């Protein structure tokens, strides 16, 4: 390859990294707003090595030289500057002569902008200017775009598929097309496990690095542990330009105060409750009293209340006691909000079916006056789609993800018991343990009358330890015989198992019985544990379940039901009815 060709190849890469689409002059398309055209014709049968176009109009030229040619040589500068006066008469230009001149040899870049108030000559730059840099620096372009900022989304460079799954590439492309068409709200549906957060990181990076419309992003999560996971994902995200980690270039942090918004950080992560605390000035404890333990059952919203398939389970959970339903009053906005409605330019709502319909709708609508809003979910319902104006830009289903090898199909193994199928009876005078829902205290009493109960009452109003014991024993016998026959039967290496319980009391009972059935020594505090709101540091417990070899069974109510990534997990056991198909699909994912 000749030295000139080597320099051009390097310059092409540098331009692409800065957000310019590099094309030959017969490949120019109005679809893209930031284009570097190779060997564009000029007056007098001359050619510009590269002509920079913004929104279809010429804004600058690049004179390319071999690496061994000095860019500050007077003849090189004179040649480049003369070309700014030689645009063809029919060539649309922002200004004549062109305001921007660049000299490049693949190793150095010299830059001159006629509108730079501080430098009238050439300055050395580490990279080519990004399209929106020029847009901001040239008054005539800045003024035109100020009247229609949506046009800036046309500056987004072509998305390269490298490093992306097909579903992620399609989702990002479709969302950017939606922005270009003027849509303020959009919904991306990606099957759990398909990489929603990674997709969001790519979207945020492209919008922040290539436009000035999106400068501050709010990433809303449902729980604190999911916020921690999102923070780690953004911090670990590597820019496509490979120069700096995303968090070093733009700044990412959890939102905790109004003052943080005075920083240059670009991405803030928060729960909706924390956001309202900052907006209103109320303490977190006061917020919790307004939205006490927001539950996870979606039966009030789920339009498909069919009973899901039942794997290692009794199926079905009663209505979440604390879920704010559509009929409950929403929390109103404070009279004097501590944050303006334009505090964020883009709000990404992760697992958005949880946040939108209950107490917090007015908060989202307040910020939605200004911000673009993007929903991410694996399980949309009709009301979700309505909130996002029915603008579903991507719909990647669980079945598709299984076909593509991203997820594995579940193997359903049902354990039936007499009590779960047909119910049972508590005889008059029989000793029972009665636990108060208010105090949590348990008393031993004799049943005053005979009580019959159905299978659906199990693990709701009635907990039958023997029935739990029967199920755990059946699981113990089946796990290596039927589910994982290729493995050696070693219960110290029991496949990581997550059990869904009805409530805290039920979860405690399951943990104790699991230890008993698997014959764990009394001092073994690791094999089976609860991961619930009332037990220590839930984030640490999730991390231990993910990484520690001796933590084999985790029992939860809702804390690990959705959005938590535990790659070693192999078995889900449902000991509670899940009346919502939405929640059931989330639990499986």
Angle at CA 519, nearest 5°, toward 432 and 485? 115
Helix (H, G, I), strand (E, B) or coil at 190: strand
CATH architecture of 3-149: Alpha-Beta Complex (3.90)
d(CA 122, CA 109): 10
Average pLDDT over residues 419-426: 57
Q: State how far the Cα of 538 lies from the Cα of 225, in Å rounded to an integer.
A: 8
pLDDT digit string (tens) for 280-339?
Answer: 998 876 665 555 444 443 333 333 333 333 333 333 333 222 333 344 557 888 889 999
Confidence class for position 117, pLDDT limits 50, 70, 90: confident
The Cα 264–Cα 261 span in angstroms is 8
> Can you say whether the dihedral through the CA atoms of 40, 42, 48, 54 is positive or negative?
negative
Residue with tokens 């905790």: 256
How far, CA to CA in Å, does 184 sit from each of 63, 179, 343, 375, 557? 40, 7, 16, 11, 36
Q: What mean pLDDT do residues 205-233 have?
A: 90
Buried b vs exposed e over 539-574: b needs ≥16 C-beta within 10 Å?
bebbebbbeeeebbbbbbbbbbbbbbeeeebebebb
Q: Architecture of 459-588 per CATH?
A: 3-Layer(aba) Sandwich (3.40)
Query: Tens digit of pLDDT for each residue in 246-258?
Result: 888 899 999 999 9
Distance CA 510, CA 516 (A): 10
Q: Residue 486: helix, strand or coil by DSSP? A: coil
| pLDDT score of 238 | 84
For 548-557, the pLDDT digits (tens) are 999 999 999 8
Given CA atoms 299, 302, 307, 310 in this order, what sign does their dihedral have?
A: negative
E strand map for 116-159:
123-125
Check whether 8 has a pLDDT greater than 90. Answer: yes
**Domain(s) of CATH 3.40.50.300: residues in the chain:** 184-293+322-403, 459-588
Give SS3 for 375.
strand
**pLDDT by residue (tens digit) across 169-198?**
999 999 999 999 999 999 999 998 899 999
**pLDDT attached to residue 317:** 30
Give the global pTM. Answer: 0.79
Tell me how crowded residue 259 is: count the other CB atoms within 10 A of its CB.
8
CA-to-CA distance for 290 and 284, rounded, in angstroms? 10
Outline which parts of the chain fall under CATH 3.90.1570.30. 3-149
Q: Round to whole Å and give the CA distance between 140 and 159.
A: 28
Q: How far apart are CA 245 and CA 251, in angstroms?
A: 10
CA distance 156 to 205: 11
First-last CA distance in the chain: 51
Q: What is the pLDDT of residue 579?
A: 63
> 346-350 and 372-377: which strand pairing?
parallel
Q: For tokens 């729960």, what's the residue?
A: 271
Produce one character per residue of 380-409: b if its CB has 16 or more CB atoms within 10 Å, e if not: bbeebeebbeebbbbbbebebbeeeebbee
Structure tokens at 541: 């417990």
Residue-wise DSSP of 44-65 = GG-EEEEEEEETTEEEEEEEE-
Q: What is the pLDDT of residue 426?
A: 59
Chain Cα centroid distance, residue 304: 25
> Has residue 583 got a pLDDT over 90?
no
CA distance 334 to 332: 7
- Count CB-CB contacts under 10 A for residue 327: 6
Three-state SS letters, 167-180: HHHHHHHHHHHHHH
Please give the CATH architecture assigned to the domain spanning 184-293+322-403: 3-Layer(aba) Sandwich (3.40)
Task: For residue 445, name the pLDDT band (cuts at 50, 70, 90).
Answer: low
Quick one: tokens of 220? 């809303």
């Amino acid at each position: 390859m000749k030295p000139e060709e080597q320099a051009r190849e390097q310059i092409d890469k540098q331009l692409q990294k800065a957000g310019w689409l590099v094309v030959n002059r017969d490949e120019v398309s109005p679809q893209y707003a930031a284009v570097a055209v190779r060997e564009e014709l000029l007056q007098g049968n001359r050619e510009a090595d590269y002509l920079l176009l913004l929104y279809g109009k010429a804004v600058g030229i690049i004179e390319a030289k071999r690496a061994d040619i000095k860019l500050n040589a007077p003849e090189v500068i004179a040649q480049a500057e003369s070309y700014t006066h030689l645009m063809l008469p029919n060539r649309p230009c922002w200004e004549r002569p062109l305001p921007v001149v660049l000299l490049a040899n693949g190793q150095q870049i010299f830059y001159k902008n006629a509108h730079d108030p501080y430098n009238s000559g050439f300055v050395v730059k580490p990279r080519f200017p990004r399209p929106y840099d020029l847009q901001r620096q040239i008054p005539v372009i800045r003024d035109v775009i100020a009247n229609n900022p949506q046009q800036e989304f046309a500056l987004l460079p072509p998305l390269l598929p490298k490093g992306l799954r097909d579903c992620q590439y399609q989702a990002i492309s479709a969302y950017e097309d939606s922005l270009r068409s003027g849509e303020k709200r959009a919904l991306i549906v990606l099957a759990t496990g398909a990489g929603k957060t990674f997709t969001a990181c790519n979207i945020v990076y492209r919008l922040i690095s290539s436009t000035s419309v999106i400068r501050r992003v709010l990433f809303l999560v449902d729980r604190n542990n999911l916020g921690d996971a999102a923070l780690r994902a953004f911090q670990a995200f590597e820019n496509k330009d490979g120069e700096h980690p995303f968090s070093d270039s733009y700044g990412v942090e959890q939102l905790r105060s109004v003052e943080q918004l005075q920083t240059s950080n670009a991405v803030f992560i928060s729960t909706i409750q924390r956001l309202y605390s900052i907006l209103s000035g109320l303490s977190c404890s006061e917020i919790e009293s307004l939205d006490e333990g927001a539950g996870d059952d979606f039966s009030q919203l789920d339009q498909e209340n069919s009973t899901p398939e039942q794997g290692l389970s009794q199926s079905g959970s009663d209505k979440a006691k604390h879920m704010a339903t559509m009929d409950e009053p929403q929390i109103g906005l404070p009279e004097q909000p501590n944050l303006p409605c334009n505090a964020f330019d883009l709000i990404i709502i992760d697992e958005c079916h949880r946040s939108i319909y209950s107490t917090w709708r007015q908060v989202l609508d307040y910020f939605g006056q200004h911000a673009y809003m993007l929903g991410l979910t694996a399980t949309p319902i009709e009301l979700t789609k309505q909130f996002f104006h029915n603008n579903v830009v991507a719909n990647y289903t669980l079945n598709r993800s299984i076909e593509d090898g991203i997820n594995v199909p579940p193997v359903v193994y049902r354990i039936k018991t007499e009590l779960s199928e047909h119910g049972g009876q508590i005889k008059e005078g029989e000793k029972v343990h009665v636990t108060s829902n208010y105090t949590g205290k348990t008393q031993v009493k004799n049943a005053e009358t005979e009580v019959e109960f159905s299978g659906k009452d199990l693990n709701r109003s009635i907990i039958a330890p023997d029935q739990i014991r029967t199920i755990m024993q059946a699981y113990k016998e089946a796990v290596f015989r039927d589910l994982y026959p290729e493995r050696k039967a070693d219960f110290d290496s029991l496949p990581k198992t997550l059990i869904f319980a009805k409530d805290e009391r039920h979860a405690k009972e399951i943990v104790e019985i699991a230890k008993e059935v698997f014959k764990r020594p009394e001092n073994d505090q690791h094999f089976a544990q609860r991961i619930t709101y009332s037990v220590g540091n839930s984030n640490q417990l999730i991390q231990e379940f993910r990484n520690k070899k001796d933590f084999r069974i985790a029992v939860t109510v809702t804390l690990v039901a959705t959005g938590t990534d535990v790659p070693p997990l192999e078995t889900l056991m449902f000991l509670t009815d899940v009346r919502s198909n939405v929640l059931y699909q989330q639990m499986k994912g």
